[in-house]
Amino acid sequence: MNLLFVAGIVIFFIGLMASIALHEIGHLVPAKLFGVRVTQYMVGFGTTAWSRRKGETEYGVKWIPLGGYVRMIGMLPPRPGDEPGKLRSASTGPFQALIETARDAAQEEVRPGDEDRVFYRKKWWQKIIIMAGGPAMNFVLAFVFFTVLLVGIGLPGYAPVVSPQTNTCVIPLSEQRTECRPTDRPTPAAQAGMKPGDRLVSFDGQKIATWDDATRLIRSHGAGPAVIGIVRDGKPQTLNVTLIAQDRPKPDDPTKIEKNVGFLGVMPTEAMQRQSFSQVPAYMGELTSRVAGSLLNLPQKMVGVWHAAFSGEKRDPEGPVGVVGAGRMGGEILASDLSDEKKLFFFVNLLAGFNLAVGLFNLVPLLPLDGGHIAGGIWEGIKRAWARIMRRPEPKYVDIAKVLPLTYAVALVMIVMAGLLVYADLVNPLTLTG
């Protein structure tokens, strides 16, 4: 196996573990701030690889890098009516027994003096902040990664620089060829003496900053003379050109043809285009909308993953990818022939997308996800506000233990989905080329 491929997988998993660790810190910090006793902070699952106790909390790393957790005491309230020194009645109902077992487990670490340090007794807004801290950390990380991506690296695009692949002749749109023939007439750019590497900086006095600017100005000009400012070998020059009218595909929809637009006859150079910081929120917002839409269609997309895994159908590039698949993509990026700049772009984009998806997925209002606890906190806040308005006694804490059967069902579905994604990522992985 290519060493660069292995290195790419390792680098991705280091980034993954760091993201998980920071997600859990998003829970840990507000929990401690609000006085909840936290007994464990762990990155990973399974057997503990390393741990160290500091104060009342054990910090550690486990061998399976597929998640993490913060263990807080008293996540579930005790059974209503339980009082110290009283015999407890047993339940023969399977669901009720399951709930009571979970309640007992949640109370095992509660010591005398911890009555006000249990999670369930915290104010509703504190519960929301504690549970929203993890997804919020993922969103912060995604924003940082997208900022590095747009401002520091840039997005793949085209620079207004004449490409070496530029044809020096006019090839009719109806002819599917790239080579010039002796009978072809030269392009306006070739006639004016334009060369590969020339940067277009102005057109008839109007500034050109991007290839889109150049395309817009040239096309809208139509046929006729124009003055183009260029920079060649670091020196500014001006060239007099005579544009011709041609039928060309629309830039935003190549299936449609624009009639008699201005034609210069140059191709742009592929380059990373750095963006301004002000464009980061809009870029992240658009991706957030797309990821949220994918989550809403997750059942349908998982059907596609099933077919890809067992029927050999092509994976949907917009479909879900598991940790294994994302790791393989990290290896593929590093082992590819892309430039170092593009490798960095794809790596940062992969980590940014991962954090964005994890943050949104954890906001789904179902237990055991963070969103389920957030929903419980919101419902408790609504109940208490309504009681104040109606001048009624303050209601008890929202008992999320009552939805544990649904929680276990959701957890089972998540395990099955994760297993399916792992299998699909192994037998029919999604690659950079789709």
Query: Does the pLDDT of residue 126 top 90, yes or no?
Result: yes
pLDDT greater than 90 at residue 207 = yes
For CATH 2.30.42.10, the residue range(s) in the chain are: 158-273
The number of beta carbons lying within 10 Å of the beta carbon of residue 352 is 21
Over 70: is that where the pLDDT of 87 sits? no
Catalytic member of 24, 100, 332, 380: 24
Looking at every residue in the chain, the average pLDDT score rounds to 87
Per-residue pLDDT, 30: 96
Spatial distance between the Cα atoms of 97 and 103, rounded to a whole number of angstroms: 10
CA 98 – CA 102 distance, rounded (Å): 6
Alpha helices in 65-207 (DSSP H): 94-107, 124-147, 188-192
Identify the residue with better confidence: 377 or 80: 377
Is position 24 annotated as part of the catalytic site? Answer: yes
- Of all helices (H) and strands (E), which one includes residue 240? strand 235-250
Q: What is the per-residue pLDDT across 281-314, written as a single tens digit (0 to 9) for each?
A: 999 999 999 989 888 888 888 998 998 889 888 8
Kindly tell me if the per-residue pLDDT of 223 is higher than 90: yes
- pLDDT of the residue at 253: 84
Q: What is the mean pLDDT of residues 85-101?
A: 52
What confidence score (pLDDT) does residue 289 get?
Answer: 93
Name the helix (H) or strand (E) containing 219.
helix 211-221
pLDDT at 93: 54
Task: Supply the pLDDT for residue 208.
Answer: 94
pLDDT value, residue 196: 94
Separation between Cα atoms, residue 370 and residue 360, nearest integer Å: 10
CATH architecture of 158-273: Roll (2.30)
Per-residue pLDDT band at 83 (split at 50, 70, 90): very low
